[in-house]
Chains A and B, each alone.
Chain A
């Protein structure tokens, strides 16, 4: 049972444009959501997060949107830069639980 799904295995975006990565979840108990970025041969690094009491969180070029009724979140990167090329994972947690449930990841490629 895949509780967190990233349905796009890959995404290609031109440098300077907006990148939108999507994530859907099924467990209504999830109350905290995170995005991680992963370069090859490195561990994932934390990018941005959002609590279920909010619908938007912004940090520089990165904005995460949460639509609880649709059980959907998205990560917007504006403007996209070549260094943003990586695999992006969304993750979710239930309050009080220490573990994260991850999606399968989306490989983002930024083209010059």
Chain B
């Protein structure tokens, strides 16, 4: 596709349930990033993929969070046993290996944990 696609765009889940968020990067972009934005705050880095390996997962807030990527394509961010503090907009971005100079963000998934 022409841009970074994220699904679902909105997700409401009950506390304690697991959720999966999906990101389809721009074709040819080998680097993929997950960020989240909690209300009134800036974007927080979660994890970075180069191909299907994750050289930097330092931003994952707890072991309830995990992510994987299939080759140089789709990535899935999984949050297990969701908590209310997980409510945020989860943003995915992709780029060529040049990295920070050329991010393209998706529109995000708004996750609400009730």
Nearest to A39 among chain B residues (CB) is B107
Q: Are A43 and B108 in contact (CB under 8 A)?
A: yes
Q: Are A103 and B42 in contact (CB under 8 A)?
A: yes
Q: Known interface pairs A89-B43, A101-B45, A105-B42. Does A43 touch B105 (Cβ–Cβ under 8 Å)?
A: yes
Nearest to A90 among chain B residues (CB) is B42
Q: What are the interface flags for B86-100 relative to A under an 8 Å C-beta threshold, 1 for contact and 0 otherwise?
A: 000001010000011
- Chain B nearest CB from A60 CB (Å) reads 19
Task: Flag the segment in A14-22, A64-72, A75-83, A92-100 that touches B.
Answer: A92-100
A side interface size, CB within 8 A: 24
Partner of B33, one of A6, A32, A41, A98: A98
Q: Are A99 and B42 in contact (CB under 8 A)?
A: no
Q: A53 to B71, alpha carbons, bound, how many Å?
A: 36
- Chain B nearest CB from A31 CB (Å) reads 10
Q: Which of B18-72 contact A (CB under 8 A)?
A: 31, 33, 35, 40-45, 48, 50, 55-56, 59
B contact set with A: CB distance below 8 Å:
4, 31, 33, 35, 40-45, 48, 50, 55-56, 59, 91, 93, 99-108
Known: A44-B105, A98-B56, A105-B42. 18 other contacts (CB 8 A): A32-B100, A34-B100, A43-B107, A44-B43, A44-B91, A46-B103, A49-B101, A98-B31, A98-B33, A98-B48, A98-B50, A99-B33, A99-B45, A99-B48, A102-B35, A102-B43, A103-B42, A104-B40
A contact set with B: CB distance below 8 Å:
4, 6, 9, 32, 34, 41-46, 49, 89, 91, 93, 97-105
